[in-house]
Amino acid sequence: MNVNARKQKLITEINITPLTDIALTLLIIFMITTPLIVHSGIKVNLPNAASAKPNENARQQVNITVTNEGTIYVDDILVTRKEFKERIHALREGNPGIEVVLFSDKLVRFKDIVAVLDTLNGLGIRKLNIAAKAE
């Protein structure tokens, strides 16, 4: 028997190929799914519109959501009507060119939408989009 044949050389390298594969796969998954998650915090049933298109300039925007019960959320934070006005005023002071996107359930009472729009108009918000699903 040969003593050298029984001794095997130790492998001192770390194979990082599987780790790299997993990291790149996760990166691709996150790159694909992140744009699809536009507004996932509060579920509303958006109305359909033929001219609906995704907002590509979402850097300086505030999302306002009005639910079917008439509650208002500013960037996924529940606010009262008074807090809504104060929060939007504070955001407008910090950024005069702020853009507002209004997410509203299609069954919301029209008076609730008018109240939100009236508040925004009173605060001088001019860049307003209403979210809708493409038909």
Render pLDDT for 65-98 as a digit per residue (tens, 0 to 9): 888 888 889 888 888 888 989 998 888 888 888 8
Taking the complete model, does pTM exceed 0.75, yes or no?
A: no
| pLDDT per residue as tens digits for the range 12-51 | 788 889 999 999 999 999 888 776 665 556 666 556 555 5
Which residue type occupies 2?
A: N
Phi, psi (degrees; rounded to nearest 5) at 129: -125, 145
CB 128 within 8 A of CB 55: no
Provide the residue ranges of all domains of the chain, joining segments of one domain with +.
48-134
Task: Phi first, then psi: give them for residue 52, nearest 5 degrees.
Answer: -65, 135
What are 109-135's pLDDT values in tens digits? 888 888 888 998 888 888 888 877 666
Architecture in CATH for domain 48-134:
2-Layer Sandwich (3.30)
Residue 57: per-residue pLDDT: 53
**DSSP structural state of residue 48:** E
CA distance 124 to 118: 10
**pLDDT of amino acid 26:** 93
First to last CA, the chain: 79
